[in-house]
Amino acid sequence: MGARLRAVLSLLLWPAAALIGRLRYAQKFLLVGLVLLVPLVVTANSYIAVQREQIDATVREQQGLRYLRTLLVLAGDMVQARRSAVSAGFDLSVNLDAALARVDEVDRQVSGSWQVHAEWGKTREAIVTTMEMATQAKSVQFTKYQEASDSILALIVTLGDRSGLIHDPDLDSNYIARMLQDWLPSLGDIAGRIADLLELNSQGQGDEQLKVFMELGKYFGVVSNSGQHLARAADAVAASGGDDGVVAAIRSQSRELHTVTEAMGGRLALAVKHQSLQQFPSHSADAVRVATNNYASVAVSSLDRLLQIRIERSTDRIERVQGWLGMGALLAVYLFAGFYISVATPVRRIVEALRAVAGGDLSRRVEISTKDEISFIAEVLNETIMTTEAATGRLALLASSDPLTSLPNRAAVLERLDAALLRVQQGSSLLAVLFIDLDRFKLVNDSFGHEAGDTVLRAVAERLITGMRRTDMVARLAGDEFVVISEEISEIGSAVSVAERIVASISEPIRIAVNDTHRDVAIGASIGIAFVATGNPVSADDLLRDADVAMYQAKQKGRGRVEIFDESLSAALEHRVRTEQDLRNAIQCDELVVFYQPIVEADTRSIVGFEALVRWQHPTRGLLAPDAFIPVAEESGLIVPLGAAVLLQACSQLSQWQRERPGCERLRMSVNVSALQLDHPSFIPTVAAVIETTDIDPASLWLEITETSLVADVERATAAFEALHDLGVGLALDDFGTGYSSLAYLQKFPMQALKIDRSFVDRLGRDPEAAVIVEMIIGVARTLRLLVIAEGVENEEQADELYGLGCTLYQGYHFGRPAPAEKQWQESGTSIVAV
């Protein structure tokens, strides 16, 4: 995969590399300068274009504001004209013709940009029609004026949307635009209508008093709502941190409008309370209308100021970017010219020196007067030239030997095998390759440190060299793997005898230094042998692989032995690899099935728990027992995800039983845990996550650990057990009596139960020593206050004898075979007991 990726990258980059390679230094610097400057210029121009677009948008808003100003004035004049029309002897001398003319002028200049000319025409026609109805009844005139005012307010909203005012990106500008478009015109118009309604009613031309009160209440709701919107908008403008003058003006107008609006509200409440319109003087509404008009005038000026400030800022940014861009371009050209002059000459000298060294002239030196990194390169190059010959020798040595043991390394082994294979094809003798892997070396490394491990490796190398012929090659491949290559072997038995002597030699104790003291450690070796004879062509890699496969077989058969490669071993290895691949898929595809075997209480013969036992429902091989795949899982590391899957499935089943089956509330579930799982950093978090996911009581989960897990790494086991104990999980020591644990370990680790190995139970009634051992185990458990579970109880005689010896819990075929969850309760034939 890596080679393919490099090939693709080389193919993609070849045109650029070819182009750069054809250019001289001056051309390369010019190209680099263009590559750097062009993006800079493009970026700067893009930024300038954005600023200009913002200026255009702001100018468009200014034009809209200009149009809006005339409409606001016209709206105010319409309110005054309506008041004059409905009032008796009240003439405000409003010149609507002049206001219309001002709007017409602005419309001719800018309305084409927003297509509001048609809307203005309709509004203008409505206003002119209203002006021609002076002879009509006052109530009719009031209605027509209302319609014309509504048309102006709708046009203001349309204009604010199409000119972009209402979509202004700045918070303060946006809120002021909303004031001018939505709230101030509406507030001024409604305040005028309130005053006009009062005037019509006083003349006896309005509706009945109840309807007038209802209408006034509706209008005052609009006034109150608009006043709240305006107050919040003024606060938002102040909070935006914009222009101080604008903030002060808006706050001042907001306070004034709030004062008169509150006063009008109080008088209106008084009028409603006394059911008298005389309690509500019309000048209160007039005061609100006047304050609204003043607010609108200030808001227009403030918004125009903010828009102009934005235009000036954008213009200033454009001028600054253009200035910095010009200065940057000039500076870049100047620096690139100086860079070329300071680099080109030293580089040329360095290249000339390298060419001389490549030609074999090691007397050449580079002289550079600069004080930069190139001078450092020249110094390093001069030092490199002086040490090239010595470094070449050292590199040749390191390329073919192992620095720790001084033995040949893998590269030397492959080279020797290639030559030896050619000689075998030309002669009649055998070529033997002995693949040696140390036993229990990891335990030495983990227990006494890597320095002790290095001592062992050097000692093994010396013993190998001592026992070999001068024509044999002894090499170290990696880690604790060694190889012996023996040529001109007359028969297979000779190589086997050599391998057996190696096993005996390496098995002798090796003295190491530990904490200023010396101690002897015993390791061993497993050896696989592969042979090549004339007429049997094979590659060096294949020969090493075959020897490795034979060594693996020696490990599988108990270690400390010698195995010879044949095709059956290759088939076995292939079967193991296929099993590992299938198991990996099985974990991902949920092919693992959990069976459950009951654990019963000795006195009542009732179920107190189950042990979860994994099976594999293989798609082609059928249901597989653990022996068919658990060893592969442990060797490949798949035992960690496999164990997590089994734990989750078992705890989920326990949770279901505890919820759905009466009497199962305190049922326990035992799950086996391997040493690899216990040692893995994800194990404790996995257990905690499963408990939380399945929502079980941690005390109802028991984890069964073998004795070998305790002694493999006592410190790590202690830390893991303490973490599990903190979670509240129970711990049981499985297969007790067959391992290496001691009473000290049992006292140190927080165990709750011991499981007597089935080998002792099976011998009860036939071997008196078995009864003694079982009685001793039960006595130890009783002393340490531990529960005792006897495994493999196959008949009633065994159960009775165990009961007589004091055993408290049984597990075996006599009480129930492992079965799927759905069949478990039918097959067990026992009841449930809460313990």
For the chain, give every domain's residue range: 49-321, 401-565, 596-612+644-828
Most confident of 62-66, 128-132, 351-355, 756-760: 756-760
Q: What is the pLDDT of residue 714?
A: 67
Q: Which of 825, 830, 787 is nearest to 596 (CA)?
A: 825
Look at phi and psi of residue 508 and say left if phi exceeds 0, alpha if psi is from -120 to 50, else beta.
beta
- Report residue 91 CA to chain centroid gap: 76
Q: How much is the pLDDT for 690?
A: 94
pLDDT band for 632, please (50, 70, 90 cuts): confident
The predicted-structure confidence for 589-600, as pLDDT tens digits, reads as follows 888 999 999 999
Given a contact cutoff of 8 angstroms between Cβ atoms, the answer to whether 476 and 457 are in contact is yes
Six-digit token pair at 509? 């104790």
Mean pLDDT for the stretch of residues 4-29: 69
pLDDT recorded at residue 139:
73
Residue 257, C-beta contacts closer than 8 angstroms, at least 6 positions apart: 187, 227, 230, 288, 291, 292, 295
Q: Look at residue 646 in the predicted model and tell me its pLDDT.
A: 95
| pLDDT at 540 (0 to 100) | 84
Please report which helix (H) or strand (E) contains residue 261, including its range. helix 244-274
Cα 84 from Cα 94, distance rounded (Å): 8
Does position 611 have pLDDT exceeding 70, yes or no?
A: yes
Q: Where are the alpha helices (DSSP H) in 401-535?
A: 410-426, 441-448, 450-466, 492-507
pLDDT class of 819 with cuts at 50, 70, 90: very high
Mean pLDDT of 590-618: 92
Residue 525 has pLDDT above 50, yes or no: yes
Answer whether residue 493 shows pLDDT above 80.
Answer: yes
pLDDT in tens, 76-102: 878 777 777 777 544 445 678 888 888
Whether the pTM exceeds 0.75: the reply is no
CATH: 3.90.1310.10, 3.40.50.970, 3.40.640.10, 3.20.20.450. Which one for 596-612+644-828?
Answer: 3.20.20.450
pLDDT of residue 835: 36
Task: Evaluate whether 615 touches 821 at the Cβ level (below 8 Å).
Answer: no
Q: What is the mean pLDDT of residues 267-294?
A: 69
DSSP letters for 470-504: TTSEEEEEETTEEEEEEEEE--HHHHHHHHHHHHH
190 near 219, Cβ under 8 Å?
A: yes
- For 402, half-sphere exposure in the C-beta direction (CA atoms, 13 angstrom radius) is 22
The residue whose two tokens read 């099985």 is 586
Query: 433, 417 in Cβ contact below 8 A?
Result: yes
Written as one letter, the residue type at 146 is Q
Backbone angles phi, psi at 402, to 5 degrees: -90, 125
> What's the CATH fold of domain 401-565?
Alpha-Beta Plaits (3.30.70)
Q: What would the two tokens of residue 726 be?
A: 């903190």
Asked if 461 contacts 570 with a C-beta cutoff of 8 angstroms, the reply is no
Report the DSSP pairing between strands 668-673 and 701-706: parallel
Helix-helix angle 117-131:25-86, to 10 degrees: 10
Mean pLDDT of all residues belonging to the chain: 80
d(CA 564, CA 430): 14
* pLDDT score at 643: 92
Query: What is the spatial distance between Cα 349 and Cα 406, in angstroms, rounded to a whole number?
Result: 41
Report the alpha-carbon distance of residue 172 to residue 162 in Å, rounded.
19
- The span from the first CA to the last CA of the chain, in angstroms, equals 59
Report the b/e string of 331-364 with b at 16+ CB within 10 A: eeeeebeeebeeeeebeeebeebeebeeeeeeee
> Which DSSP string do the residues of 336-363 spell out, in sequence order?
HHHHHHHHHHHHHHHHHHHHHHHTT-TT
Beta bridge partners of 527: 436, 562
Among the ranges given (378-392, 550-564, 603-617, 668-682), the one the predictor scored with the smallest mean pLDDT: 378-392
Residue 303's pLDDT band, with cuts at 50, 70 and 90, is confident
Mean pLDDT of 35-57: 79
Select, from the ranges 127-141, 216-230, 703-717, the one with the highest average predicted confidence (pLDDT). Answer: 127-141
Q: What angle do CA 307, 311, 315 make, to 5 degrees?
A: 170
| C-alpha angle 252-258-264 in degrees, rounded to nearest 5 | 140
Residues 143-186: pLDDT tens digits? 888 888 888 888 888 878 888 878 878 887 887 878 778 877 88
Output 557 or 603, whichever has higher pLDDT: 603
Statement: residue 33 has pLDDT above 80: no
Q: Are strands 592-601 and 607-618 parallel, antiparallel or unpaired?
A: antiparallel
Q: Which residue has the tokens 């060893």?
A: 631
Nearest residue to 160 (alpha-carbon basis) of 296, 316, 288, 358: 296
CB 832 within 8 A of CB 824: no
List the one residue out of 27, 21, 19 whose CA is nearest residue 336: 27
Decide: helix, strand or coil at residue 426: helix
| Residue 829, pLDDT above cutoff 70 | no
DSSP string, 101-138: HHHHHHHHHHGGGTT-HHHHHHHHHHHHHHHTTTTS-H
Helix (H) or strand (E) holding 762: helix 758-762
* Residue with the two structure tokens 């499985």: 734
Q: Is 198 exposed, middle or buried (CB count within 10 Å of its CB: 0-12, 13-18, 19+)?
A: buried
pLDDT at 273 over 70: no
Give the 3-state secondary structure of residue 4.
Answer: helix
DSSP letters of 273-304?
HHT-GGGS-HHHHHHHHHHHHHHHHHHHHHHH
User: Lowest-confidence range among 198-212, 396-410, 632-646?
Assistant: 198-212
Question: How many CB atoms are closer than 10 A to CB 660?
Answer: 8
**Model pLDDT, residue 483:** 92
Residue 648 has pLDDT above 90, yes or no: yes
Q: Work out the number of other CB atoms within 10 angstroms of the CB of residue 428.
A: 10
3-class secondary-structure state, position 430: strand
pLDDT at 684 over 70: yes
Q: Contact, 296 vs 180, CB < 8 A?
A: yes
CA distance 6 to 11: 9
Q: Concatenated DSSP letters for 646-678? A: HHHHHHHHHHHHHHHSTT-TT-EEEEEE-HHHH
User: Helices 768-783 and 796-805, interaxial angle, to 10°?
Assistant: 50
Pick from 258-267, 464-473, 481-490, 719-728: least confident: 258-267
For residue 553, is it left (φ>0), alpha (ψ between -120 and 50) or beta?
A: alpha
Instruction: Write out 605-633 in H/E/C secondary structure.
Output: CCEEEEEEEEEEEECCCEEECHHHCHHHH
Burial class (CB in 10 A: 0-12, 13-18, 19+), 618: middle
Q: Under a CB-based contact definition with an 8 Å cutoff, are residues 256 and 292 in contact?
A: no
Residue 392: predicted pLDDT: 53
Asked if pLDDT for residue 428 goes beyond 70, the answer is: no
pLDDT of residue 768: 85
The DSSP bridge partners found for residue 803 are none
At residue 206, what are phi and psi to the nearest 5 degrees?
-95, -170
| Cβ neighbours for 122, distance < 8 A, ≥ 6 positions apart | 151
Residue 129 near residue 78 (C-beta atoms within 8 A): no
The whole-angstrom separation of Cα 509 and Cα 456 is 10
- pLDDT of 365 reads 75
- From residue 600, alpha-carbon distances to 238, 543, 808 in Å are 78, 56, 9
The percent of residues in the chain predicted with pLDDT above 90, rounded, is 13
pLDDT given for residue 23 in this prediction: 66
Place of tokens 């003295």: 511
833 pLDDT higher than 50: no
Segment 698-706 mean pLDDT: 91
> What pLDDT does 339 receive?
67
Q: How many CB atoms lie within 10 A of CB 490?
A: 10
**CA triplet 659, 661, 663: central angle to 5 degrees?**
100
Task: Quote the CA–CA distance of 295 and 547 in Å, as a whole number.
Answer: 97
Three-point CA angle 30, 36, 38, nearest 5°: 95
Q: Taking a C-beta distance cutoff of 8 angstroms, is the pair 695, 737 a contact?
A: no
